[in-house]
Structure 1
Amino acid sequence: MAAFPVSSFAEGQVVDKEYCCSICEKHNTETNAAFYCKKCNTFFCGQCIHSHSKHGLWFNKQSPYGKDKIMKWPISKKMENYLLACDIHKNEKLTKFCQNHSRLCCSKCVDLDHSRCTPVKVISKVKRQSSDVKKLSVKVLKTLSRLKKLQGYREDSRRSMQVCYAELEQNMVETMQLNIQSFLVQCEDNSVNETHAHVEYSVDEMRQKIYSLLAEFENSAIKENKEELTLKQAPLLSVINTCIRHHIELLRVYEALRKVKDRTELSLITRYKCQDKIQQSEIYMNENFSDEVFTIQGKSTHNVRMSSDSKTCWITAMLVLPDGQFLVADWGNHKVKLLNQQYQVVSHCGVSAQSICQITPSEVAVTVDDWINTHEVQFITFNQSQLVTGRHFQLQHDCYGIAHHQGDLFICSGNAMFKYSLSGELICKLYEDASGFVTVWGFAMSHTGDKLYITSPSHHKLYTVARDGTLLAVFTDPELQYPQNVYVTPAGQVLVCGMLSHTIVQMDSEGKRKLATLVSVRDGVGRPCSVCYSSTTSSIIVGLLGDDNIMVFRVE
């Protein structure tokens, strides 16, 4: 079993409320437990522990475990009931496992959603793999770390906002003080050489005027300032609180893994519930973490030339596969190459691909265009490190960039973007720009499918377009010259390669501003025309035009 390096303080914060005193429960009272006796298999609160004297004094080796040894406590009844309960049908227990969907099911889940799935096994018959738990441990730690990082970013933004508004409020107060002082000086000048009676009247009048100024100030300016701050802080607080909730929920299930390692069925359930919590956390972070800027930590180069290659490699596209391997389109040698996680070529097929997109976990689609007569989409399947070409369909226009989303294919022709069905039926033309030679080349889609990021090499621009073809943003920058391909990471970060500026630029998720120039010619990059990101190795991989090497930049 893999180690679980979570601090005891954090563990205590999460699991403390899961345990109730066994003695108090017998009297229908729910009190948090502070001790556990293994020999008695009993939990004790701070009061009931005084009645426990079966195994000697507390400080003896046989004494009950306190909260400082909470890792030696068994799983609580509350947690066990939570793990066994179906997340959808709360009153039902999980009893089955659908292999088609890799989902735990209760009897209602099977009847309603998995009646046609095969096989649906009883949980006790599902094989458990220890290596899965070790990999899961790494994923959990990485997810918990990213949740904390996202929470920290939003807390920093909130503090910065509070400081700005505090300074604004202070300036408003100082302005009000000056106004009052100015009014008092004016009153003092008017009261010189006047009678005592008139001065008394003036003092009362001044008091009313000052009260009026302060009331107006407090009820308008200060109130509006505080209301505006509250309004602007609301989305930040929402992210902070959601991160805390995801962190606690994931940590609770993660902690249960070690406590149930000897209980086969419960261990399997806990593992899959842990995966569900990771997925929920990742979906949320992908929606809120897209502008996290990468920092380069190191680089390496890897040769992808094969002995059968007759020309220098032109890596026009790259794709990270679900198992951590890579597909690269070597247009110079008319091949699609499969690389393992060490960036070594392990298989290939003879297809002159311009761009690649994922269709299913075992199938991709590539655009094939020779700039003369061939314009088609080719499907390639891979199984046990072998690439096999399958069906294909012809196009009536040039084809370069390609992406897939929810059963639709999006294809760039150089001057327009078209939407097709997977069978090759043209659905519509989404976007067109005929103002230059190559204006619609490479593109990527946001994970929500609501935005398309399109490169325009001839105009040295990045366009952001809505799903219906509406132009949302246009970006240009001296450090983004002749942009080729664009890539969206699993967390939603947008990476663009500028071929003539020799750069990889990170954009914000709206496509309106540059967040950073991540790599440039100073890093040894020359004519980059493809880029991708591997979450397995936390690396940005860059393909170059006319170079047998790919460059790998380790990032945080």
Structure 2
Amino acid sequence: MASSREDMDSEERQNCSICLCEFEIPRQLPCMHSFCEKCLQDYISSREETVKKLNKIECPICRLVVIPEGKTKSSTILASMFPINVIFQSILNDDSKVKVDRSCDSCHSAGRLRSAQDFCVECEEGMCETCSEVHRNLKMTRNHVIFSMEEVASNPHNVMKIAKGFSCPEHDGEDIDFYCKDHKMACCSKCCIVSHRNCACVSDLSKELPDLLQEMNPDSIIEQMKKLESHLKSFTEVNESSVSRLESQVNNLTNQIRDVRKKINDVLDEIERKVKMDGHIIYKEDTIRKQEEKQHCQSLINSIRNSHSLLETVRKYGTVTQVFLMTEKMKSQLVSYLDQIQERYTKTETTTILLEMNPKVQVLLSTCPDSLAKIISKRELQRLDYTVIKKPFRKSLIQTDRTIDIKVDDFLQPHYYGITYCFSGHLMLADSWNHAIHLLDSSYNSITSYKLNNSIFDVCVLDQTNEVAVTIPGLKLIQFLSVTNGKITPTRTITTRYKCFGIAAAENGNIVISGDCDGESKPYWSLVNREGKETSHQIECHCKGSWTYVAVDSSFTHVYVTVSMAHSLFCFDMSGKQEFVYQHDSLKNPRGVATDKHDNVYVVGHASNNIHQLTPDGVVLQIISNGVPSAPLAICFNNDGDVFLVTNDSDTRKIYQYELK
């Protein structure tokens, strides 16, 4: 079985790996693989684009990269540049030189007929036992390579490969008989004449062989070759093991994904169950509430019908006095009906059910369903057409209630740039020119004052605390003050990134400030937490040096910023997304901004001497000019959201109070 395999290998070695036929002009690549010259030409032509672009050729078998010398040539020239495999060529030319059943060539020349026992690959002659012994002992032939005829029979082509391997690679057919010590290389006689004629030490190779062989140590090289082969086998085994390991990992990944999917499905099933349950609860509650409202409305309708019917009856059958008295009574009853209807309109809510999913999917498996997804019941005031409810009820009318004379100890004429209601109906004023904070009682009488070292601008009361915050633009500073038992005490400060003017309270003790970016033309607003971490948002308008005020709605979801030089009011959500910009021909140099109990927005026009009342989404309701002081400045609402105060830059010691009617 082994010999048949060797015969097949020997036959394959004589065949081209491309055409699978016997070689025709075998050309050898540097990797020692050989191909027919014509097959090599066709192979190069099929990859002509790669050869020209990258100037390289890959061996069709082992993919070793060969880089041709010089400029890229045609496939014919490239194929012919590779050397002819002289071993295969000699086998093809004279396959009969190595015959297993040949006779001794030396005896045959002497007229004797003896069968050959050995074969000298250098002399290419068969030898009988006697001639072989003489051949090994002669000085000229003792170093020749000799094979037994049994070895020749087992692998004749390997014998010829060894034989032809000693011929000169530069001069075909020339034996290598010399050694150049200068270049440390063996060469033929032609090489000595052409390439080594100027070398000082060129000698007979046979004389140098003992020392060269001892120096080269073939046994050591063979041992290294074996080790290299062993390492390569180990490397192959490692690669195979790596492939198996990767396959196992892929299978494990698949199993893990299945497990993850199952867990996710379990979580989603739980979420679905809870969503359905919570949604049904909200639906049921809202349905009951709407049914109650419907019943109330129906009851009111019945009452109105009864009143109407009663008045009609009195008119038809009663005296004039009875008609008058009943009409007077029904007029009062009508006002009662209108008040009830208005209350229903302002309190009418719509319920929106949303599914809020947690964006952090990576923590899906380590968190409970409630933190991944939950039902959010979002109730909003229903936005009705204001033309429907505004005229009959006229509750949005604003009337000047009183003018307040502020009496505090001050050195300069006061300028109240900031104003806010605080605890127990008390009032806080920020006097910019006198660098002072004034605390007034609910009757607007002075309780105490606190003087700072620099000019201040605006003031606000922190949510659910007894602490107030004051902006100091020149120092880029926020000063916090504690107000306890009628005393004002400084507590802490926060440094801001830019100049801060306006200030308003946000949720959980946070604050919102507005100001002007130093060296830039854009104003800004920032959300600042208790630790002083500031999240800034630039406002897209080019108005360097603008005064800015800021307000936050009651739900702490929207921020309103006035920019004086832009004559505009900007509205943002808490993430910094701009909701709308309000501009009006009669709004000039806007300053203070505030919101009432319905989150309607009030903007003070400093240069236009008016106050603009807007809906929360920026629709103008009315523009108030009667009773508004010249150069109005800051504005604030009381805790009930139905009374507001306005300061001014003309008669600065006076504050104007307004009430919603």
Normalising by structure 2, report the TM-score. Answer: 0.39
Q: Larger relative contact order (C-alpha < 8 A, sep ≥ 6)?
A: 1
Normalising by structure 1, report the TM-score. Answer: 0.46
Max Rg structure: 2
